[in-house]
Structure 1
C-alpha cells in the first residue's frame, strides 16, 4: 500500500511545521513502513540550526521515524476521515539512537520502520533513516497509545 500526503494527513494529526512524512512507498499494517521525508532549505529549523551550515536536528529525524511508525500501527488504518480521532500516540522512549552523518537540505530521508511488538497500549519499533542508501540514523522507539476519552 502507498499513501500520498492527503492520506497521511488523514492518519496523523501533525501539520506544518511538524508533519515530517511526505509520502509512503510501502505500508504493511502492524508490520512495517517505508516512507519519505524530503528535506528542503525552507524547513523552519534550518534558520537556527545552523545558519552557517544547515543540519537537520537528530531529534527531528527520530520524530519522523515515530510518525512513520504511527502510520502502520493501528488496526483502523482504513483511511476514513475519523480514523484515530479518539486516540493519542506518544513517543515515550528512544534507545540505542545513533546518528551516522548530518542530514542537509536537498537530502531525501528514506524512513524504514519495523514493528517489534504492537499491543493496544504500547508499541516497540526498530527504525532507520537513510540518504542515498546510507544509514544516517537509527534507533529503537517505544510509543504509547492512549484514548483521548480517558
Structure 2
C-alpha cells in the first residue's frame, strides 16, 4: 500500500496538537476505563466525512496478561472496537445519525494485515461512504502502525435505542 492509499496523509498528522483529547472524546461516547480505546482525535475532513485518531497501546492494557502470554498481540476485536469508537465519536460530534448513542451494526471485508503490540501507536482512520440519518452510517476504515496498514474494512454504525435498553435493564430481577 502506498502512502496515497491511506484515508489521511500520515506524514501530515500533528500528534502535538490533537483536536480532541480523551476528555473531549468522553463527552461524546460512553466507553470508559479499560474499554476506552481512542487516545485522541488528530484531524477531521468534514467535506469528505473523514476522521483520524489514534490509540496509544500501552504496557498496561487489560488484555496483555491473557492474550498470548509472553507474546502480547492486540486482539483484532479490540482494534475493531477502537475503530468503532472513532466512528461513533465522529457521528456524534456532527450529529450524523440524530441519535443519543451509536452502536455496532456490522463489519464487512475486514482484513488483519499486521500485528499491533504494546508500545505501538495505532493510527485509526474512517471515511463515511454511506449515511442514512436515523438508520445507519457505513464507513471504510484503516489502521496503521509505523506507516504500514495493519487492519482495514468496512464498519456499519446504527442508532442504539437508549430508552429501550434502560427499560430492559430496569425489568431485570
| Number of residues of Structure 1 aligned to a counterpart in Structure 2 | 143
Q: Which residue of the partner structure matches residue 79 of structure 2?
A: 61
Q: Determine the C-alpha separation between the residues in 2 that align with 1:12 and 1:28.
A: 20
Aligned to 2:154: 140
| Deviation, structure 1 residue 88 | 2.6
Which of 128, 132, 136 is the equivalent residue of 1:115? 128
TM-score, structure 2 length as denominator? Answer: 0.77
* Distance in 1 separating the partners of 2:156 and 2:76: 17
**Runs of 5+ unmatched residues, structure 1:** 78-83
* Cα distance, 1:63 vs structure 2: 0.9
Confirm or deny: 8 A CA contact 1:95 1:139 kept in the other structure: yes
How far apart are residue 41 of structure 1 and its match? 1.4
Contact 1:28 1:72 survives alignment (8 Å): no
Larger Rg: 2
Moved more, 28-37 or 60-69: 28-37
Residues 1:100 and 2:113 are matched in the alignment: yes
Consecutive aligned runs of 4 or more in structure 1 exceeding 6 Å deviation = none
Per the normalisation by structure 1, the TM-score is: 0.88
SS at match of 1:70: helix
CA contact (8 A) 1:55 1:102 kept: yes
| 1:146 Cα deviation from its structure 2 partner | 3.0
Kept in 1: contact 2:29–2:101 (CA 8 A): no
Say which structure is richer in strand: 1
Matched, 1:130 2:147: no
Higher helix share: 2
C-alpha distance after superposition, 1:44-91 (max 9, x if no partner): 1011001110000011111111110111113349xxxxxx8x723111
State whether structure 2 residue 19 is matched by structure 1 residue 5.
Answer: no
